[in-house]
Amino acid sequence: MSTMFKNLILYALASAALLFIILIRRIYLVRLHQLPSSRIGLFAAHVELYCCEIDAGINVPDQKYIDLFYMEKDVCNEQLAIMWSREIIVTPYFFGLFLQKIEHLMSILEVRFTSLNVHFIGVTQGDRDVNNLLDASPNHLNFIQEEEDRGGNKLRSFGVTDNAKFVCLIVRDSAYLESRPYKGNWSYHNYRDTDIQTYVMAAEELTKMGYFVFRMGAAVNKSIETNNPRIIDYATNGMRNDFMDIYLGAKCDFCISVGTGFDAIPSIFRRPIAYVNNTPLGYFTTWSNRFLLLSQHHYSTKDDNELSLKEIIDRGATLCYSVECYDEKNIKLINNTPEEIRDQVVEMAKRLEGTWIPDSIDKTLQESFWSVFPSDIIGENGQPLHGEVKSLFSASFLRNNPKWVE
């Protein structure tokens, strides 16, 4: 049977099913949504925020309803798919294809019949927690006992004994997107790539504080170079798998991230995150005091002077998502130094341990930063990107660069 004939049959059945769904709508509302399963950041945060919205009474119909979800063809993490299937109604793949046809028909007809949009689930703000729901709601994913036992045993095999402290380190490079089945030119993301070796100083310092450090990554360009046995190159040592990706992200004391997909895992499990080399500034994750932020340096290509926060905003560069955008703004991005990264993660560790000693000027510097930061910025979809701002910017960086926020 040809693919075209199969699609004709599916669309014919989908048309009949759509008519039935419309006819029963006043009695029972059926809503559909394709899970963004091909990218782990969206797959984690988008669905968690849907669950939080339901808890908060947001995006909830005022009648009897059922929400049906289906996967994309590509599933980035099978363990995450298993865990979401325990929390929401995820249909089998073959039925998902059928639902996809129905939703496609609705998207076409919705142009003329806007009432059909009630059958789209959606999430109010995608993966942006502008309603500060993650802090107000418990996490929705939990490990069953067999998974807890399996994860604990694997941690012990790494030498991480019970109650030992450990950190996940995720550093973006080009390898992951190039390894995925969907192909494309991802070079516009290159401004987000950083060298894993610039994180070794920070990792070494954490081990002196009693932490293990797991270098994460489903696909990476190179190994981390260190002889420290407490720094585990999980991404390249042959022990990486979908289950442990989720388990480590869920159980870590905190995560170090440049702002990439994996950090959504610790985020939805309410783990703290120390961001470094995090750009663009306007897309900072600002909705929880569990986040400590630090951006790349922005230099003017005309005079090679570092731009202040206000100058970056004035150049309209707070929502640049491509190398080309920064080039158009005459901006060159420079990554944080190993020392800046070390100071950032040590600050996070000390804050969590209760040993961080504030400086008398810290409060003033934070207030200066957030008074300039464009918290009212609107995203490309016309929706706000920030709700109540709770995160902190790196106190150690502001102390060393007080003029940056003048």
Mark whether 75 and 194 lie in a shared domain: no
Mark whether 69 and 176 lie in a shared domain: no
| Percent of the chain whose pLDDT exceeds 90 | 73
User: Which tokens go with 239?
Assistant: 């022990």
Q: What is the pLDDT of residues 304-334, one digit of tens each?
A: 899 999 999 999 999 998 989 999 999 999 9
Mark whether 171 and 32 lie in a shared domain: no
pLDDT confidence bin for 99, thresholds 50/70/90 = confident
Mark whether 66 and 174 lie in a shared domain: no
The rounded distance, in Å, linking the Cα atoms of 282 and 9 is: 46
Q: What is the pLDDT of residues 8-54, one digit of tens each?
A: 777 787 788 888 888 898 999 999 898 999 999 999 999 999 999 99
CB 85 within 8 A of CB 75: no
Task: Return phi, psi of residue 58, to 5°.
Answer: -95, 140
Work out the mean pLDDT of the chain and round it to a whole number: 91
The rounded distance, in Å, linking the Cα atoms of 203 and 141 is: 29
Structural domains in the chain (count)? 2
Q: Is residue 26 in some structural domain?
A: yes
User: Is pLDDT larger for residue 114 or for residue 371?
Assistant: 371
The rounded distance, in Å, linking the Cα atoms of 252 and 214 is: 9
Q: What is the pLDDT of residues 160-218, one digit of tens each?
A: 988 899 999 999 876 665 566 666 665 556 778 899 999 999 999 999 999 999 999 98
Q: Is residue 137 in some structural domain?
A: no
Q: Is residue 139 in some structural domain?
A: no
The pTM of the full predicted model, rounded to 2 decimals, is 0.93
Mark whether 110 and 172 lie in a shared domain: no
| Residue finishing a domain among 97, 119, 141 | 119
Q: What is the pLDDT of residues 141-155, one digit of tens each?
A: 999 999 999 999 999
Mark whether 105 and 179 lie in a shared domain: no
Q: Is residue 180 in some structural domain?
A: yes
Mark whether 90 and 199 lie in a shared domain: no
User: Is pLDDT larger for residue 338 or for residue 5?
Assistant: 338
Q: Is residue 128 in some structural domain?
A: no
pLDDT for 192: 80
Mark whether 190 and 65 lie in a shared domain: no
**Look-up of token digits 């081990």:** 207
pLDDT for 384: 93
| Residue finishing a domain among 101, 119, 137 | 119
Q: Is residue 141 in some structural domain?
A: no
CB 391 within 8 A of CB 285: yes
Q: Is residue 134 in some structural domain?
A: no
pLDDT for 54: 95
pLDDT for 51: 96
Q: Is pLDDT of 124 > 90?
A: no
pLDDT for 182: 60
Q: Is pLDDT of 386 > 60?
A: yes
pLDDT confidence bin for 114, thresholds 50/70/90 = low
The rounded distance, in Å, linking the Cα atoms of 140 and 163 is: 23
Mark whether 85 and 189 lie in a shared domain: no
Exposed/middle/buried for residue 404 (C-beta within 10 Å: 0-12, 13-18, 19+): buried
| Percent of the chain whose pLDDT exceeds 70 | 94
pLDDT for 98: 77
CATH code of 214's domain: 3.40.50.2000
Q: Is pLDDT of 276 > 70?
A: yes
CB 313 within 8 A of CB 362: no
Mark whether 99 and 153 lie in a shared domain: no
pLDDT for 146: 98
Range of the domain at 74: 3-119
Q: Is residue 338 in some structural domain?
A: yes
Q: What is the pLDDT of residues 212-263, one digit of tens each?
A: 999 999 889 899 999 999 999 999 999 999 999 999 999 999 999 999 999 9
Mark whether 51 and 165 lie in a shared domain: no
Instruction: For residue 129, count other CB atoms closer than 10 A to its CB.
Output: 24
The SS3 call for residue 68 is strand
268-296 average pLDDT score:
97
Q: What share of the chain is helix, strand, coil (3-state, %, to 5)?
A: 45, 10, 45
Sequence-distant (6+) residues with CB within 8 A of 323 are: 187, 188, 190, 191
The rounded distance, in Å, linking the Cα atoms of 375 and 153 is: 44
Sequence-distant (6+) residues with CB within 8 A of 20 are: none
pLDDT confidence bin for 285, thresholds 50/70/90 = very high
pLDDT for 336: 97
Mark whether 231 and 320 lie in a shared domain: yes
- Write the single-letter amino acid at 389: V
User: Which tokens go with 319?
Assistant: 């929502």
Q: Is pLDDT of 97 > 80?
A: no
